[in-house]
Chains A and B, each alone.
Chain A
Amino acid sequence: AQSVTQPDIHITVSEGASLELRCNYSYGATPYLFWYVQSPGQGLQLLLKYFSGDTLVQGIKGFEAEFKRSQSSFNLRKPSVHWSDAAEYFCAVRALAGGTSYGKLTFGQGTILTVHP
C-alpha cells in the first residue's frame, strides 16, 4: 500500500525567504504525485502535480516541486514566500486502480506554514 510522509509538522519562515517542504512517498510503481494547499476553513486546492516526464514541475502561485525517484521524494519549493502563502500543505500520492489512473489519493499528515512579516 502506498504511504506519504511529511517530516515537518510546522515550518516558520520570514516573508521573502525561500521555502522547501519535504515529502517522501512509498509506492511500488511510478507514482502520481500531488501537492495541495489548504487555508483555514477552506477546501483543498491543487498546487501542482507530477505524472511523468520532466521531474521539475511548475505549479500555481510560484511553487515548484522536484520528483527524485532515487530518494522517493517530491519536495515543494518556492524561492520567495509571501504572507499569503501561510496555510497547510499536503503532499499526496495516487495509486492506479484497476489499471486506470483514477485511484484514491493517499495524503501525508500535512505541514503548517507560518510566515513572519
Chain B
Amino acid sequence: EPEVTQTPSHQVTQMGQEVILRCVPISNHLYFYWYRQILGQKVEFLVSFYNNEISEKSEIFDDQFSVERPDGSNFTLKIRSTKLEDSAMYFCASVGGNYEQYFGPGTRLTVT
C-alpha cells in the first residue's frame, strides 16, 4: 500500500538555525499539507498546498515558515530561524481522489 514518508524522523537543532523537513507524498496525490503537534497538545494545521502554491495557511504559519515542491515528488517545510516553541512533531499529509488524508510518520523537531 502506498504511504507518505518523512525524513528525518528526528531533527535536533539549535535556536536560530534553519531546518528543512522533507516529505514524499503518495505519488498520484495533488493536495499536500503540513500539521504540527506540540507534545501533549492537539494536532494543528499549518498549511495546505495545491498546484504549486499555498491554498490555505494558519496563523501559526508566519514568515519564518515556507513550503515548496522542488521536484515532482518531494514536499518540504522550511523553518528559517527556529525558536524553542517550534519544538514539535511535524506531520505531512496528502490527499487523493477518495478525499482521505494520509499522514506520514512525522518528524520530531527538537530546538535547543
> What residues make up the interface of A, taking CB atoms closer than 8 Å to B?
32, 34, 36, 42-46, 49, 51, 90, 92, 94, 97-98, 101-110
Contact = CB atoms under 8 A, between A and B. Distances in A.
Contacts of B106: 42-43
A46 B95 CA distance: 12
B12 to A, nearest CB: 16
Interface of B: 31, 33, 35, 41-45, 48, 50, 55-56, 58, 91, 93, 95, 99-106
B95 A102 contact: yes
Contacts of A90: 42-43
B21 to A, nearest CB: 14
B43 A98 contact: no
Given A51-B99, A97-B48, 17 more contacts: A32-B99, A34-B101, A43-B105, A43-B106, A44-B43, A45-B103, A49-B100, A97-B56, A98-B55, A101-B99, A102-B31, A102-B48, A102-B50, A102-B95, A104-B33, A104-B48, A105-B43
